[in-house]
Amino acid sequence: MKQPPQSNAAGHRPGEQPYSLPGLSPHTTQDAVVVVPGIMGSELYDTTTNTVLWGLADPGWLGRAWTKRQGLAPLHLTEEEKAGQTGRVKARRLLHTPAWSPFLRGIEPYHELLTTVAHCVAHPDAILPFAYDWRLPVATNAKQLATAAREHLEAWRRHPAHTAARKHRVDEREGRLVFIAHSMGGLLTQAALALGPDSGLAAATRGVMTLGTPFHGAVMAASILNAGQGAPLPLPHGKLKALAATMPGVHDLLPRFPCLGEGLTVRRLTPADVADLGGDKDLAVQSQTFYDELRRHTLPRHRAVVGVSQRTLQSLTLQDGVVVGSEHSFREHTDGELMRDDHGIPRRFPVSGDGTVHKESAAPTRTVIPFALQHGALASGEAAMEAVTSFLQEDEHLGPGQAASGLGLAVPDFVTPNAPWEIQLTGTDDPAGITCTIASAEGDFTKPARLYADDEDALTARIQVPDAGLYRVTVEAGGPAPLTQLVLAGCSEEQD
């Protein structure tokens, strides 16, 4: 005879759920996130002419900007702007399409970074993409960033989604600020928190993640100001030099570490050196004074993503006013004395970096996340985006380590259509399992590039493109993220 089902003390039958299981809690942060792009990473708009000066989606605008006589003229700082009377140019949004500049090469849009952040926050209103006029001094933009970040945080704390998000977090604390800053954006963030008008902003910040920020400057900035002196260079390099000479923002990126070799001595650049290599002495003095104050301050709960394995200028010599860059660094002992060998010759170290910023400049502390990526890809590569996700979600795991292949990609920044040029892949001499392609960023052109051993621990491909325009080189090696770089093809002679 069957026994009737038994009930427990609560009146439920065995195996019966006394309640319905709730859905999975979202793995999102209750914090407000500020995304700060790098130099040339914001679209600029002229309020007097109602025209976009930088960041057009039109495929032909890059070629016109860098090869036509007046292509970059509106970007030059006016005398009024140099005197602090800003407002003619407005930064409307973060870069939405790929751009290009000599020396800096590919300037990637921030779509991937913003999408990654959006997946980690409780509501889109928690994100502030901070666009800024990158021609101006870091100090000027940092003040604007501090004000905007505080207003953003207070608005977010009043948002209904903020209240809801706190309930599924362990500490249920009130939301704070998190900064995700690429390249020069990290310098703005550091200055905003340390020297900005809001003395309580650092305390209201949960953490800062920087992606390839040149905390100690970059030798590349000296090359930009020096372009055209000495051996002839393609037209775009000279046009960038003329623009950069008026820009405090470029002077703020000059190297501030011992990098100038003079025989058996190595020293830091002085304002007089900057003038000799083609920069503005007064802007160099202003920048030096600013960084003398800023370097005494550290970022709160800082995590640095740095690029490694890429060929990167790290030191220089001045020969009759011409910058000769080198891919090695010098180091000092803890007492400040230069490291030398037994013969008194300064020791040289091949540190490498992300192609623009060498590793030791991007790593103010030893707490870093290294990736074998180019500078622009640090704000868009899959592996770097995993690190951003983990940082926002406060997970201990910070994404994969350095790309397993440890490969470096070197390409020209400017080429001529229908003329051959080289792609070099360092870190291996075995092409097995590696694919290399070049594709138009604006059209249907795609072409594989055959890699072959051309040197010890390196592969080379020779290729040419049919038309003027922007092209992307991509190298796949089975690692967590491909290596990519942008190349501009165009005429090297000035056009009307």
The per-residue DSSP string of 260-296 comes to: EEETTEEE---HHHHHHHTS-HHHHHHHHHHHHHHTT
The per-residue DSSP string of 110-152 comes to: SHHHHHHHHTTBSSGGGEEE----TTS-HHHHHHHHHHHHHHH
Residue 199 has pLDDT above 80, yes or no: yes
pLDDT of 397 reads: 41
For tokens 């399409």, the residue is 97
Residue 370 has pLDDT above 60, yes or no: yes
Q: What are the tens digits of pLDDT across the range 238-248?
A: 889 999 999 99
Q: What are the tens digits of pLDDT across the range 472-494?
A: 999 988 766 788 999 999 886 66
Of the chain, the percentage scoring pLDDT greater than 70 comes to: 90
Domains of the chain: 25-405 (3.40.50), 408-489 (2.60.40.10)
Q: Are 341 and 347 in contact (CB under 8 A)?
A: yes
Helix (H) or strand (E) holding 410: strand 408-410
Tell me what the pLDDT averaged over the chain comes to.
88
Q: Kindly indicate the confidence band of residue 230, based on its pLDDT and cuts at 50, 70 and 90.
A: low
C-alpha 309/C-alpha 322 separation (Å) is 27
Q: What are the tens digits of pLDDT across the range 284-297?
A: 999 999 999 998 89
Q: Kindly indicate the confidence band of residue 311, based on its pLDDT and cuts at 50, 70 and 90.
A: very high
The residues, ordered by sequence, that sit 6+ positions from 238 with a Cβ below 8 Å of its Cβ are 227, 228
Of the chain, the percentage scoring pLDDT greater than 90 comes to: 67
pLDDT of 272 reads: 96
**For residues 175-185, average pLDDT:** 97
